[in-house]
Structure 1
Amino acid sequence: METEILSDDELAELTGYKARGWQRRWLLERGWTFVESRSGRPLVGRQYVRMKLGVTLQVVPLMPPPTAAPAWTPDISKVR
């Protein structure tokens, strides 16, 4: 399962650098938003990367579930 944050390998593939300092520099020069972990690792969100790279996700419209018929209905045919 993918996490919401790019892995070290994915970030290296994106930036072309393994060193964190160069990764930060690459991100800053291109105006990318990121936060740093306590250890100084740049954390970049997966959805943010998709947005910046212009990847569009197909949106599938959801149909609302059909309304359920009541399980029990009173028989009022004999009521006067």
Structure 2
Amino acid sequence: MPSRQIQWLTNNGWEYVLTGARRPIVGRVYARLKLAGVKPSATNAVVETWTLDLSRVG
């Protein structure tokens, strides 16, 4: 239930945004940092740019 999810996220200090359907969304990088025990901040929560590396494909 979204209301219980919102309550849990709020009680445990997680940041989230609500969709138009009032469902909570937590960012992927933010969640990984929180689960790793790292306090997310603006400097360590920057998403790494991903590029396709085909150099090892034979």
Please report the TM-score for the alignment, with normalisation by the length of structure 2.
0.60
Instruction: Output the aligned Cα RMSD.
Output: 1.6
Q: How does 1:1-80 map to 2 (within 5 A)?
A: 19-54=1-36
In the superposition, the TM-score normalised over structure 1's length comes to: 0.44
Does 1 or 2 have the higher relative contact order (CA < 8 Å, sep 6+)? Answer: 1
- Gaps of at least 5 residues in structure 2 are 39-58
Alpha-carbon distance in structure 2 between the residues aligned to 1:37 and 1:47: 18
Gaps of 5+ in 1: 1-18, 57-80
Deviation beyond 4 Å, 4+ runs, structure 1: none
| SS state at 1:49 partner | helix
